[in-house]
Chain A
Amino acid sequence: MLKLLNIIPFTIGKYILTMSSVIGNIALFFYDFIICLFTPPFYLKSLKNQIIKIGYNSLPVIGLTAFFTGGVLALQIYIGGSRFNAENIVASIVALGITRELGPVIAGLMLAGRVSASISAEIATMRVTEQIDALVTLSTNPMKYLVVPRVIAALISLPILVIIADVIGIMGGFVVGTKSLGFIEQSYIKNTIDIIEFKDVASGLIKAAVFGFIVAFMGCYHGYNSTGGAQGVGKSTTQAVVSASILILAANYILTSIVFTS
């Protein structure tokens, strides 16, 4: 019994120590990143490649998820709204829901799955096959060559992807609304344009930039600090996706409360 009681503080202590060291390591990694961000050399070719890889190649995934999300949103609001004769708000709520919340969050989560995982697996494999050590011996700072272009590319790409996701998501709602729910096309578009304000879209884009940073930064951090061969690569990839997803949802709440309650 006494033994069992001893285990509890031991476990809690161990957990807190691990958490503190992870937070400390992330902070140090971030500090290093900021320094490398502002000191030459800058790898613009690598940045361009990463924008294509992270941004352009994510277009099909983002487009499809946004379209279906907009469609299902229209359907649900119609069903829910019809309970108190408020079917007409479909266009407005789809527009606000997509631009403010679902556009950035869905795009962020899709990118966490697609981009965090691939960045983490790539950098972790480079770590375990000594390619990162090789970079150092070839007078190249791996932080500048690998991490900075990826994080900046994601930071630039995700807001652009979210603009596209907003448009396609609203279009998904429009298609469902007009083709299956019987809305008139002109009035659906008019309702959408009337309700959207600059702030709705802008807040979504700020969120997108933050999520883009989280996605690439978590992928790089976990990949860079990977240890233990093939198993380690798998572990760091999982950790990258999980931590990026959780941080996106947490940051979303914080950003929403800052933008819309002040």
Chain B
Amino acid sequence: MNKIIKIKELSKSFGNKKILNELNLEIEKNTSMVIIGGSGTGKSVLIKSILGLLKPDSGEIYYDSFLLNEKSRKEINFHSKIGMLFQGAALFDSLPVWENITFGLEKLRSLKNIDLRDLAVDKLKKVGLDPSVIYLYPSELSGGMQKRVALARAIARDPELLFFDEPTTGLDPIMADIINNLINEVIREVGATAITITHDMESARKIANNISMLYKGKVIWTGKASEIDNSDNEYLDQFIKGKSVGPIKININD
């Protein structure tokens, strides 16, 4: 299979604390990879390292055949090929919804304001929102609507790679399911590779083709989403069943 992201021996520490410890991971093209793991296992640091928001201490990240670093990200215009859905939506609260969705696109495709608004309406329809919200500001939207607008912004560039950071956290179960369905639809429609980090197992089962589990800065299990229930991995078993007893020790003082 064609690998779109390859991560080799990635390490990152904050002070004395090792967050990623020589982590290796490969992600197949046009699949949905979900990375699960408890809080503080390095999921966010991993995704931020791929995006170039954090500089890893050592190790390599490849996108197709390109080694990603500060310079090459600019050269291949990496950020125009990706979309990212942040945990708290991270919408720009000084801009109305349509400018949020089309942010930066006028430079990328030299579009006029009127085309940009059309594009925003088009993307809003894809995430199931009424076009009438385009002139509202993010603070006037509910949490679920903000997530949808953020999703519309993430797909506005027709990205090859989509990142989702805890897409269902902070939403009620029904809205969480709607977001899961939207993610599935969007992945299918855009034809993108999706990388999701979550600790919501229901969400993971729903949107994943493949699942990797992180523990103490390493990938301890990778496999098909259908295989997680009979993996014979006691760490994974404990996590997906949500038991407090098992090999994973949670250090409360951490």
Give the interface of A toward B (CB within 8 A).
41, 126, 129-131, 133-134, 136-140
- Bound complex: CA of A129 vs CA of B150, how far in Å? 13
Tell me which residues across on chain A come within 8 A of B52, comparing CB atoms: 136
Say which residue of A41, A131, A139 sits within 8 Å of B92 (CB atoms): A131
Report whether A130 and B90 are in contact in the complex, using a CB–CB cutoff of 8 Å: yes
- Bound complex: CA of A137 vs CA of B100, how far in Å? 13
- Bound complex: CA of A138 vs CA of B79, how far in Å? 6
- Bound complex: CA of A243 vs CA of B153, how far in Å? 37
1/0 per residue, CB under 8 A from A, across B80-107: the answer is 1011101110111100000000011001
If the complex has contacts A138-B79, A139-B80, are A133 and B104 also in contact, measured as CB distance less than 8 A?
no
Tell me which residues across on chain A come within 8 A of B82, comparing CB atoms: 137
1/0 per residue, CB under 8 A from A, across B153-184: the answer is 10000000001000000000000000000000
- Among B80, B88, B90, B163, the most chain A Cβ lie within 10 Å of the Cβ of B90
* CB-CB nearest in chain B for A41: B107
Report whether A138 and B90 are in contact in the complex, using a CB–CB cutoff of 8 Å: no
- Among A129, A130, A137, A140, the most chain B Cβ lie within 10 Å of the Cβ of A137
If the complex has contacts A130-B86, A133-B90, A134-B84, are A139 and B51 also in contact, measured as CB distance less than 8 A?
no
B65 at the interface (CB under 8 A from A): no
If the complex has contacts A139-B77, A139-B79, A139-B80, are A134 and B90 also in contact, measured as CB distance less than 8 A?
yes
Tell me which residues across on chain A come within 8 A of B107, comparing CB atoms: 41
* CB-CB nearest in chain A for B163: A137
Q: Which of B17-53 contact A (CB under 8 A)?
A: 48, 51-53
Say which residue of B77, B83, B84, B88 sits within 8 Å of A129 (CB atoms): B88
Report whether A139 and B87 are in contact in the complex, using a CB–CB cutoff of 8 Å: no
Tell me which residues across on chain B come within 8 A of A140, comparing CB atoms: 103-104
Tell me which residues across on chain B come within 8 A of A137, comparing CB atoms: 51, 53, 79, 82-84, 163
- Bound complex: CA of A41 vs CA of B163, how far in Å? 26
From residue B171, how far is it (CB to closest CB) to chain A in Å? 17
Closest 5 CB pairs of A and B: A130-B90, A134-B90, A139-B79, A137-B84, A138-B104
- Bound complex: CA of A134 vs CA of B80, how far in Å? 12
B108 at the interface (CB under 8 A from A): yes
Report whether A139 and B86 are in contact in the complex, using a CB–CB cutoff of 8 Å: no
Tell me which residues across on chain A come within 8 A of B77, comparing CB atoms: 139
* CB-CB nearest in chain B for A130: B90
Give the interface of B toward A (CB within 8 A).
48, 51-53, 77, 79-80, 82-84, 86-88, 90-93, 103-104, 107-108, 153, 163
Tell me which residues across on chain A come within 8 A of B53, comparing CB atoms: 133, 136-137
Tell me which residues across on chain B come within 8 A of A136, comparing CB atoms: 51-53, 79
From residue B88, how far is it (CB to closest CB) to chain A in Å? 6
Tell me which residues across on chain B come within 8 A of A129, comparing CB atoms: 88, 90
From residue B192, how far is it (CB to closest CB) to chain A in Å? 14
From residue A205, how far is it (CB to closest CB) to chain B in Å? 31
- Bound complex: CA of A138 vs CA of B108, how far in Å? 10
From residue A34, how far is it (CB to closest CB) to chain B in Å? 18
Besides A136-B51, A139-B108, 13 other A-B contacts (C-beta < 8 A): A41-B107, A131-B92, A133-B51, A133-B90, A134-B90, A134-B91, A136-B53, A137-B83, A137-B84, A138-B103, A138-B153, A139-B104, A140-B104
Tell me which residues across on chain A come within 8 A of B86, comparing CB atoms: 130, 133-134
Tell me which residues across on chain A come within 8 A of B104, comparing CB atoms: 138-140
From residue B167, how far is it (CB to closest CB) to chain A in Å? 14
* CB-CB nearest in chain B for A125: B93
From residue B146, how far is it (CB to closest CB) to chain A in Å? 11
Tell me which residues across on chain A come within 8 A of B79, comparing CB atoms: 136-139
* CB-CB nearest in chain A for B92: A131
Pairs A–B under 8 Å by Cβ, sample size 6: A134-B84, A134-B90, A136-B79, A137-B82, A139-B79, A139-B108
Tell me which residues across on chain B come within 8 A of A41, comparing CB atoms: 107
From residue B172, how far is it (CB to closest CB) to chain A in Å? 21
- Among B52, B80, B82, B92, the most chain A Cβ lie within 10 Å of the Cβ of B92
Report whether B88 and A130 are in contact in the complex, using a CB–CB cutoff of 8 Å: yes
Tell me which residues across on chain A come within 8 A of B51, comparing CB atoms: 133, 136-137
* CB-CB nearest in chain B for A137: B84
- Bound complex: CA of A140 vs CA of B107, how far in Å? 10
- Bound complex: CA of A129 vs CA of B146, how far in Å? 13
Tell me which residues across on chain A come within 8 A of B90, comparing CB atoms: 129-131, 133-134
* CB-CB nearest in chain A for B81: A139
* CB-CB nearest in chain B for A131: B90
Tell me which residues across on chain A come within 8 A of B93, comparing CB atoms: 131
- Bound complex: CA of A139 vs CA of B84, how far in Å? 12
From residue A32, how far is it (CB to closest CB) to chain B in Å? 12
